[in-house]
Chain A
Amino acid sequence: KAGVTQTPRYLIKTRGQQVTLSCSPISGHRSVSWYQQTPGQGLQFLFEYFSETQRNKGNFPGRFSGRQFSNSRSEMNVSTLELGDSALYLCASSPATGLAADTQYFGPGTRLTVL
């Protein structure tokens, strides 16, 4: 099976702009989670989607939003970008059912730089 794919791999934006990142999960996986990784804060959970519904949300401001489509692909959006949003954004998919229900498979990430 193909792994989790994320597009684009690199992005450069300026403060105040908005950005949309895309994630295609492993075929058959219905749960998609997003994480932000920065040198200072480490890996932090953003949100999780399952069957097009947000099931869980981390402690991030409302500028961070996401959605999931019927084919399980997911997008996350960050509006009004701030310098501190510069990070590696990681998407992970999970079968959500069966023995491996809670094993998460990560994509390569999108490196966002905000200038």
Chain B
Amino acid sequence: SQQGEEDPQALSIQEGENATMNCSYKTSINNLQWYRQNSGRGLVHLILIRSNEREKHSGRLRVTLDTSKKSSSLLITASRAADTASYFCATLLGTGAGSYQLTFGKGTKLSVIP
């Protein structure tokens, strides 16, 4: 079952604009991670935010986490055509014995128009 649900499912913006994607999840988590996937290829890790953090930045990326609302958002500023991809949030749950399991949402498909 999907732990995270991204919103919107698809987003189309002009180059230079900001893109905001949201993720909601259901249970308590250790951390939440955002990944990017270009057209059916492997996933690229973008940023990780721990459950005791509220905001994190990495280059043009800004992630927020609200554990009380069980939600996170990913902001990409000054978007570029190369940002066109699917973006997934993934929640990390500890399953005991040091093992972790990533549960992904269905993703937001971002199109950046040059």
Cβ of A104 under 8 Å from chain B = yes
Chain B's interface size range is 20 to 34
A53 to chain B, nearest CB (A): 9
Q: Is the CB of A45 within 8 A of B43?
A: no
Q: Which of A14-22, A75-83, A105-113 contacts B (4 or more CB under 8 A)?
A: A105-113
Total contacting residues, chain A, CB less than 8 A: 26
Q: Is the CB of A48 within 8 A of B44?
A: no
Contacts of A90 in B (CB 8 A): 42-43
Q: Is the CB of A43 within 8 A of B104?
A: yes
Cβ of A33 under 8 Å from chain B = yes
Q: Is the CB of B106 within 8 A of A42?
A: yes
Contacts of B48 in A (CB 8 A): 102-103
Query: Which residue of B has the minimal Cβ distance to A97?
Result: B98
CA gap between A45 and B2 in the complex, in Å: 10
Cβ of B28 under 8 Å from chain A = no
* Partner pick for B33 among A50, A103, A107, CB 8 A cutoff: A103
CA gap between A109 and B95 in the complex, in Å: 25
Cβ of B45 under 8 Å from chain A = yes
Q: Is the CB of A102 within 8 A of B42?
A: no
Contacts of A106 in B (CB 8 A): 35, 42-45
Cβ of B27 under 8 Å from chain A = no
Mark A residues whose CB is within 8 Å of B.
Answer: 4, 33, 35, 42-45, 48, 50, 55-56, 58, 88, 90, 92, 94, 96, 102-109, 111
Other A-B contacts than A42-B2, A48-B101, 11 sampled, CB-CB below 8 A, are A35-B102, A43-B88, A48-B99, A55-B99, A56-B99, A58-B101, A90-B42, A90-B43, A102-B30, A106-B42, A107-B42
